[in-house]
Structure 1
Amino acid sequence: MSEFTFSFNGEWKGGRSGYGHICTKGLDQTVSIGAEMNGPGQGTNPDELLISAVATCYMMTLGIALDKRRLPYEKIVITSKGTVTDDSGLHFKEIIHFPTAIIKKDTDKDIKEKILQAMAQAEKDCMIAKALKGNVEISVKPQLKARED
């Protein structure tokens, strides 16, 4: 059994209108409550970080799945949207991924179907999505797009 450890350092000053700083191996960022939630909107915020983590995990999981299945694609482009609600206290309600696999124009119909299946399965295999299961509804609305030559 393997274990992997990740670390985080942070500091915070103030209340709701305060700000802070977070640092990981690959991230060095100012943080505050988002302007959408009447905060100062400096740097990023936990809501953006959560959706970024889920979307990045999905994107990487999908890339790995397509590679393992030897399914041809040029690249994956993704937009994800998260909804926070204050119904019964603030909480993440849902995250929707809108991934697009860029493929060659002459890609076989059977291959296209297998790519779409992999796009649906990747959300179920993503470890960050698994950590949120039962708390945040996560869905995928995949599409394919032929490469512009």
Structure 2
Amino acid sequence: MTTRSGSASYDGFGKDGKGHVCTQSGVLSHAQYGFGSRFEDGIGTNPEELIAAAHASCFTMALSFALAGAGFTAGRLDTTAKVTLEKDGDGFTITKSALDLKAVIDGIPPEQFAAIAAEAKANCPVSKLFNAEITLTHTLNP
């Protein structure tokens, strides 16, 4: 079992509040977040982009290991995740994570690639965490 942690603080409330987020690794150390960075074009991060980065990296690593397990040894995978936050009554809900994959892999049949990518999407730990629609588009050897 592996346990990782992140933390957040928020001083003040609502639109006037300001927050900071940190990760155990120190990659994020008191990174600013707040209303402006979440709902406007303010400086700082927000939960949705952190979730998007987590989903893109988890899926890409899962796919990398699945391709290695299928005997492929070289290539490149580039994934972007776009997480959608929608108004839901009085609050908000993350309703979608759209993965967009660009892959360069020599010698893989498109049908095999699509099947391996779909399995990685369904089985990466972050995909399993979501109770949201998760889509995947991919381009092989663009």
Aligned length: 137
Gaps of 5+ in 1: none
Q: 1:99 aligns with which of 94, 97, 101?
A: 101
Determine the structure 2 residue equivalent to 1:66: 67
Determine the structure 1 residue equivalent to 2:118: 120
Q: Deviations over 1:22-52 (max 9, x none)?
A: 21113222222355624x7221001111111
Determine the structure 1 residue equivalent to 2:57: 56
Distance 1:91 1:44, change over 3 A: same
> Equivalent pairs: percent with the same residue?
29
Give the structure-1-normalised TM-score: 0.80
Determine the structure 1 residue equivalent to 2:9: 11
Distance 1:21 1:36, change over 3 A: closer
| More divergent stretch after superposition (80-89 vs 115-124) | 80-89
Give the structure-2-normalised TM-score: 0.83
Cα pair 1:116 1:143 within 8 Å, conserved:
no
Distance 1:19 1:64 in 2: 39
Q: Which amino acid aligns with 1:82?
A: V
In the TM superposition, what are the counterparts of 1:81-96 in structure 2 within 5 Å?
81-88=82-89, 89-96=91-98
Determine the structure 2 residue equivalent to 1:42: 43
Cα pair 1:19 1:42 within 8 Å, conserved:
no
Cα pair 1:34 1:44 within 8 Å, conserved:
no
Q: Which amino acid aligns with 1:27?
A: L
Gaps of 5+ in 2: none
TM superposition shift of 1:18: 2.4
